[in-house]
Chain A
Amino acid sequence: MPRLNRFTIRIHTGEKGLSGPVQCKFNGHVLPLENVSGGTGSDEVYEGSFSPLSFIHGFTLVGPPAGEWNIRRVDLSYDAEGMGPYEISLGEVTLDETTELNLWKEKPLPLFDV
């Protein structure tokens, strides 16, 4: 697992929003996100960032304590050691009180036509 220097997360909420705070868990610890803007209401976009400066073993977005949170799209910008900066986009998913979303994806492998 590489050392994650910094990440930015942008969450596009769908129909069902989240009323509580956004909780991103890094290696089991909830991170205090910085530079937070926007919201997690229906059709709102939330953005935050953090510099963990630590080796990544698990990075998740925690579902709401009750009810459902419909996420249309998650855009992530990563700066991981040995990989350089890169971006990943995740598609639609719905979280609830029993689930959390895996946010960590390694830099996509190069793909070329032959």
Chain B
Amino acid sequence: MGFLDSVKKVFGLGREELPYRKDWTVEEQEYPRPPPAAPPPPMQAAPRITSRRVIEAPVLGNGATEPESAGNGAVKIKAQPSRSGLECTFLVNRPIFAGHSWAFSGAEAASGWPLAEELFALGDEIVSLVFHDTTLTVKSRNKRPDDWLALARRVGDVIRRKIESGGPLVSERALAAMPSEEEIKKQIQEVIEKEINPGVASHEGRVTLLGVKGNTVSIHMGGGCQGCSSAAYTLKMGIEGSFRRAVPFLGLVLDETDHAAGVNPYFR
């Protein structure tokens, strides 16, 4: 085989064509045909997804101190550190700030409030305070739940001494200037309609005023706000700030939304 033949063999050139045979026929086979498909069943309505309302039953025997009318019996104080340990709530059987609430962000904010001034004087451990009716919440730094015993006893001593002395616990000037519930309700409603709801509407959210007790405001965060992971941030950094600018003597702003309720909170 010469060189040229080798090249032709490699590249398939010069291949002999097979003779065409006229007697070749293609046999057609009969394949069994599938039976005609049954007509689709009539469309049925999809099962309706019904969401049940999740309700709560009272927890029995939590051991909290029941408030008593002022002036009867000994002052009883129970301390309950939070799960994180960052704050401790003191449950007192006497009113600390009857029917009202007040938050102190530091010692400077406590000027003119006798009980708060003494508590901040306990040292740098106390970062902030909240008075709410018969409870007092102390926020500290670098604490775990087990670390509270010593500081809680000192806080308890101050509360007991101030109550037993019979002197004022809160600022009389603040009490005198405190607006009525009706005034607070009107101002908060105005802020919600003009400032808050137009802002959260872009996320299909809406804020509803549930009520005002003393100077404590309860709201509900609905629509896109319910179940949103940023709801707490929106409340603290946006809603609460707007409320406080409008109502200088505002106490706590409580979000009473059940953010876990419903079939699919936030996305709905």
**A contact set with B: CB distance below 8 Å:** 58, 60, 62-63, 71, 73-74, 88-93, 95, 97-102, 105-106, 108-114
Asked whether B59 lies within 8 Å of A110 as measured between CB atoms, the reply is: no
Asked whether A113 lies within 8 Å of B59 as measured between CB atoms, the reply is: no
Asked whether A91 lies within 8 Å of B153 as measured between CB atoms, the reply is: no
Query: Main SS of chain B's interface residues?
Result: mixed
**B contact set with A: CB distance below 8 Å:** 52-64, 76-83, 90-91, 145, 149, 152-153, 155-157, 260
Besides the known contacts A114-B90, A114-B152, 11 further A-B residue pairs in the complex with CB atoms under 8 A apart: A60-B54, A63-B52, A91-B57, A100-B55, A101-B55, A101-B56, A109-B81, A111-B78, A113-B77, A114-B78, A114-B153
Asked whether B60 lies within 8 Å of A99 as measured between CB atoms, the reply is: no
Query: Main SS of chain A's interface residues?
Result: strand
Asked whether B77 lies within 8 Å of A99 as measured between CB atoms, the reply is: no
Asked whether B54 lies within 8 Å of A100 as measured between CB atoms, the reply is: yes
Query: Closest CB-CB distance, B67 to chain A, in whole Å?
Result: 15
Q: Which residues from A are CB-within-8-Å of B57?
A: 71, 74, 90-93, 101-102
Known contacts A58-B260, A88-B59, A105-B59; is-contact A113 B76 (Cβ 8 Å): yes
Known contacts A88-B59, A98-B53, A100-B52; is-contact A110 B90 (Cβ 8 Å): no
Query: Closest CB-CB distance, A108 to chain B, in whole Å?
Result: 6
A30 to B81, alpha carbons, bound, how many Å? 35
A71 to B57, alpha carbons, bound, how many Å? 10
- Taking each of B54, B57, B63, which has the highest tally of chain A beta carbons within 10 Å of its own beta carbon? B57
Would you give 9 A-B contacts (Cβ < 8 Å), ordered by A?
A90-B60, A92-B58, A98-B53, A99-B53, A101-B57, A109-B82, A111-B64, A112-B152, A114-B155
